[in-house]
């Protein structure tokens, strides 16, 4: 009997570059350093590393969806840099909205381990409250913000069917975008320390989602089982 080792399909140390860059970026924001913008663009490529080294995990479509969500998030992070002539905020909403749709499909079809609990309804309450509070401040972006809020809340809600790491990731992602929404539409009400808070919760959310997804896929992968 030959037992494959977990490290062949899931390498926890591959998250270290992402963790290190996240710390550097959040610290740069806190101290208003000029390295904050370029370090932001390194976050998602480094988060892709653990997924890339886990390409042998099954099903391949789950790995593909993870990478798609990461790439779309990267485009959202760098919308102003990658598309300098375009409207930055609508582009951010579009790319992150598509990333959340990829996550929802992944959670609902490939990572689910339980039924959605009743308390997931809190995310519907969150959406209604956000539209009621921020709606008057969004102007022509009201529809786009409302749709984005639906997919963001959907990501958090469907994460409740998954591994606890994914659930926590969904919560942190929701917190990040909630704080960011207030910073964008009611900036006078938000103190400066909420800028690093947005990215602290964002990096935690993305990292936990990816870690939880890879843990789940490894436990279901043939490579993680005893073979003869």
Select from 58, 50, 72 the least CA-distant residue to 218: 58
Q: DSSP class of residue 18?
A: H
pLDDT digits (tens, 9 = 90+) for 57-106: 889 999 999 999 999 999 999 999 999 989 999 999 999 999 999 999 99
CB 75 within 8 A of CB 82: yes
| Phi, psi dihedrals of residue 78, rounded to the nearest 5° | -110, 25
Q: Global pTM?
A: 0.92
Report the half-sphere exposure of 44 (CA within 13 A, side-chain side).
Answer: 17
Sequence-distant (6+) residues with CB within 8 A of 163 are 111, 113, 212, 213, 215, 216
Closest C-alpha to 147, from 203, 97, 211, 215: 97
What's the pLDDT score for residue 89?
A: 93
123 close to 174: Cβ distance less than 8 angstroms: yes
Residue 119: predicted pLDDT = 95
The length of the chain in residues reads 228
**Residue 1 or residue 212, greater confidence:** 212
Q: Answer whether 98's CB lies under 8 Å from 138's CB.
A: no
Region 147-174: mean pLDDT is: 97
**Number of structural domains the chain divides into:** 1
Digit-coded pLDDT (tens) for 122-160: 999 999 999 999 999 999 999 999 999 999 999 999 999
- pLDDT > 70? residue 8: no
Domain membership of residue 171 as a residue range? 2-227
């Amino acid at each position: 009997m030959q037992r494959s080792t977990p490290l062949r399909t899931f390498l926890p140390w591959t998250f270290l570059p992402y963790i290190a860059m996240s710390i550097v970026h959040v610290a740069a924001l806190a101290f208003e350093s000029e390295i904050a913008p370029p370090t932001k663009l390194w976050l998602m490529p480094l988060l892709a590393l653990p997924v890339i080294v886990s390409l042998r995990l099954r099903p391949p479509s789950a790995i593909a969806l993870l990478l798609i969500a990461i790439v779309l998030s990267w485009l959202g992070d760098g919308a102003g840099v990658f598309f300098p002539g375009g409207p930055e905020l609508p582009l951010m909403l579009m790319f992150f909205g598509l990333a959340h749709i990829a996550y929802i499909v992944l959670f609902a079809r490939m990572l689910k381990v339980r039924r959605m609990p009743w308390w997931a309804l809190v995310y519907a309450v969150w959406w209604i409250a956000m539209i009621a509070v921020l709606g008057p401040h969004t102007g022509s972006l009201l529809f786009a913000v409302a749709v984005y809020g639906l997919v963001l809340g959907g990501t958090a809600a469907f994460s409740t069917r998954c591994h606890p790491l994914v659930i926590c990731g969904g919560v942190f992602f929701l917190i990040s975008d909630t704080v960011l929404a207030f910073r964008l539409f009611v900036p006078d009400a938000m103190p400066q320390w909420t800028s690093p808070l947005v990215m602290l919760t964002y990096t935690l959310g993305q990292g936990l989602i990816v870690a939880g997804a890879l843990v789940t896929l490894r436990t279901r992968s043939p490579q993680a089982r005893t073979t003869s």
